[in-house]
Amino acid sequence: MRSPTVYCGPMWGGKTEALISALVRARIQEIPTLAFNPAKNARYGTKDIRAHSGASFPAIAVTSGAEILAHVHDLQPQLVGIDEFFMIEGAIEAVRVLRARGTRVVIATLDMDSEGATWESVGELLGIAEEVVKCPAVCAACKADAYFTFRRGRAPAGRVLVGAGEFYEPRCWACFDEGQRSKRAQVGRGSLFADGASVKIPLRR
């Protein structure tokens, strides 16, 4: 396995599923493995990395890269898995240290926020990764490949908002852009979407 290996893309793209598959494979190969989940990622609890499909792998909840390194020091795994990398403060520094020590690292993370801006730490991560796998979802509006995570108009403010279908949906670029422009227009009129429902945008030809 190349290290770091990064599975990235929008929500519902199968990133965590791919991470879990890599961790399960390592366990079958009897490679000492340790997995981490951000403590704030409480959608399905924090004791497991869990995909939307229901697949899971035991994990330790952490808030910082320093905590990752402390657990690695104590337990000495050969392979470390990190889910929702962008949520863990200082995770990029931990990855650099693990790489220098020869510990293999596999990661699942959103690459962009719901405004289409790259998470700063993820940008650094992609720069040092030996393998990057982009995992597209299916656009909720037109069913094309989706590489963006769209936040519905009635979702609470804040760059990090833990949630799933109640706040977010995957979209292709055309539908994401149209949705963003619609939200800006609604804000300009003093309101957002009345019910938070997705706006169905026809596929552009």
Active site residue 166: no
What is the phi-psi region of residue 101: left when phi exceeds 0, alpha when psi lies from -120 to 50, beta otherwise? alpha
> In b/e form, how buried is each residue of 28-44, taking b as 16+ CB within 10 angstroms?
eeeeebbbbbbeebeee
> In b/e form, how buried is each residue of 178-197, taking b as 16+ CB within 10 angstroms?
bbbeebeeeeeeeeebeeee
End-to-end CA distance of the chain: 40
What lies within 8 Å, CB to CB, of 140 at 6+ separation is: 146, 150, 169, 170, 171, 175, 198
Identify whether 4 is preceded by a cis peptide bond (ω within 30 of 0).
yes
Q: What is the phi/psi pair of residue 202, to 5°?
A: -65, 150
Q: Are 167 and 151 in contact (CB under 8 A)?
A: yes
**Which one of 67, 84, 169, 178 is the catalytic residue?**
84
Catalytic residues: 84
